[in-house]
Amino acid sequence: MSQSAPPCLVVRGTKGFLSGAVHVLQVGESMTIGRSRSADLSMRNAERLYARDDWRILMNSEPFLSVSRHHVRIHFLHRDLVEIKDMSSNGTILDGRRIDCVAVTDLDEQPHTLRVGAREMFLLEIVSKSPATNGS
């Protein structure tokens, strides 16, 4: 009898400086997204930012500064339960609605979109096999 792979929560950048970045969580793990280098998905570590000649200017731009150092925390509690907590003063948007702290219970049925700051967008989805990651 074969066992199915344990579920993973995939957080994938789809727009902004972190577009293309992927972070994978196992059940029980949490992560942060923000400007700080210590964030799991960090804008200061974004390859797309430093690939541009004007990266120093961009680091002082409104889209960059609209993301707090530790903007949002995502905690993967169970296949049917993901907690998302806004830790910023600028707000976090889940599926078009501003949140403070929310429990998402249907990620195994449908992916959700998360907006952090002015333009950083992420797709959150549950998968049964861990995809390749390409960095925070």
**Does 2 have pLDDT greater than 60?**
no
**Does 130 have pLDDT greater than 60?**
no
Q: Which of 58, 61, 83, 59 is nearest to 72 (CA)?
A: 83
Give the Å distances, CA to CA, from 16 to 13, 61, 105, 120, 130: 8, 13, 27, 5, 23
What is the rounded distance in angstroms from the CA atom of residue 55 to the CA atom of residue 63?
12
- How confident is the prediction for the chain on average, in pLDDT? 90
DSSP code, position 60: T
More confident residue, 129 or 42: 42
- pTM value? 0.89
**Does 107 have pLDDT greater than 50?**
yes
DSSP code, position 50: H
Please name the residues in contact with 52: beta carbons below 8 A apart, sequence gap of 6 or more. Answer: 58
The predicted model gives 127-135 an average pLDDT of 63
Give the CATH class of 8-127.
Answer: mainly beta
- Interval 34-92: pLDDT, tens: 999 999 999 998 888 888 888 888 889 988 999 999 999 999 999 899 999 999 999 99
Domain boundaries, the chain: 8-127
What is the rounded distance in angstroms from the CA atom of residue 23 to the CA atom of residue 54?
26
More confident residue, 1 or 71: 71
